[in-house]
Amino acid sequence: MNKKLESLQALRGVAALLVLLFHFHFYLRGDNESGVAIWDALFGWGIIGVDFFFVISGFIMIYSTQHYLHGCESAKKFIFNRAIRIIPLYYVGLLVAFLLGGAMSTFHYPEKVQNLLSALTFTVYKTSVTPHYIDDDGMYNIRWTLNYEVYFYLAFTFCLLSKYRMLALIFWGFLVTCVAPMIAGFHPTLSVQGYAFQTPTIAFITNPLILEFLMGTLAGYVYLQLTKRRMSMKLPLISSVMAIVLLLSIVFGIYTGSIRALHLESTIILSLFVLFLTLGEPVLQASIPRVIKYLGDISFSLYLLHNPIGQTIIKIMGPVGQSGFNGIPTLLLAILLSIFSAHVTYKYIEVGLTRKLKIVLSKYAYR
């Protein structure tokens, strides 16, 4: 069993908080320009947490399968574990969003029904909203990132059939984001606006945003190559210093606008940060607060649940967007309830239910 990388867990927790604050900051923006500027400056960049999630996800896939042999058994084991990990909680989150977002009234509006069907089936249906390819204002809109996760899980599953999985991943990334669009007559791009295919599914599959996962797998591969060798005692120390330097560079880059969310060139820096953070873990792990580590444990639940819970609190307490700083208590309540709900679902769904499902379903999956 692979050792849990506590530095990545902590980073997951921070990323989840960044996305939460990004979404909630819209409720604090008043009509006056100064109010908008304040909250945008503080939390408007928080969507960069999504980039961290994608990079970490790619890293963990390489890290967690390092002892897998190539072949069908490994591919089946990987996709089984991933499905058990995300699907139960995903549908719990969808049910919460459905109940809190109007429930049966959804069926009175064709566009909401289409959005619900898309959520139920992990499919996309809009070419006009990129890189989401779903209604960005619709119910459970946070799920657009899960569509990319599932897509990458499937691609990674097929790459596990090859002895050279890293080369297979690179080939796949180059094929879908460059070769296929060129054959269709498009010039290659790294923009997450993607290619103007008329079919949403094809536009989604070829979107360069998927390369963020690939950058994470490369970071994971380099990490394994370095740690499999007898490391110098200086490497964790040097790496921890590099991680701190890169973190400061990222903060400064966000401030100046040179580091941006959903921007592949910026993701290179984020991937290097993840690499040095994990290499420096022997030095850094003692200084990571336990509460941040736990936020990392519940980060998936927090990510899926914070939007419907936050929106419900805002509806109950009244609009805070017009009240500026007076709305902060309402937002704090939304944050606390989101974290509490994530704690409950993590304990009883992510851990409890997942463990039981693994025991029951593994009897059939590995016959």
What tens digit of pLDDT does each residue of 83-113 get? Answer: 999 999 999 999 999 998 877 788 888 999 9
Confidence of residue 325 (pLDDT cuts 50, 70, 90): low
Determine contact, residues 20/341, Cβ cutoff 8 Å.
no
The pLDDT of residue 324 is above 70: no
From 69, 142, 153, select the one nearest 299 (Cα to Cα): 142
Q: Is the pLDDT of residue 213 over 70?
A: yes
Q: Helix or strand or coil: residue 1?
A: coil
pLDDT tens sequence across 60-91: 999 999 999 999 999 999 999 999 999 999 99
Question: Does the pLDDT value for residue 198 go beyond 80?
Answer: yes
pLDDT of amino acid 7: 94
Kindly tell me if the per-residue pLDDT of 323 is higher than 70: no
Amino acid at 350: E
User: What would the two tokens of residue 21 be?
Assistant: 């604050």
Q: Which two tokens stand for residue 112?
A: 């909401």
- pTM of the predicted model, to two decimals? 0.94
Question: How far apart are the C-alpha atoms of 30 and 323, rounded to whole Å?
Answer: 7
Q: What pLDDT score was predicted for residue 37?
A: 67
Model confidence at 367, pLDDT cuts 50, 70, 90, reads: low
Amino acid 94: pLDDT? 95
pLDDT digit string, tens, across residues 218-274: 999 999 999 987 667 789 999 999 999 999 999 999 999 999 999 999 999 999 999
Which tokens sit at 253? 């880059």
Angstrom CA distances, 205 to 148, 196, 212, stand at 9, 12, 14
Residue 19 has pLDDT above 60, yes or no: yes
Give helix 48-64 / helix 211-228 axis angle, nearest 10°: 50
Q: How far is it, in rounded angstroms, from Cα 134 to Cα 145?
A: 11
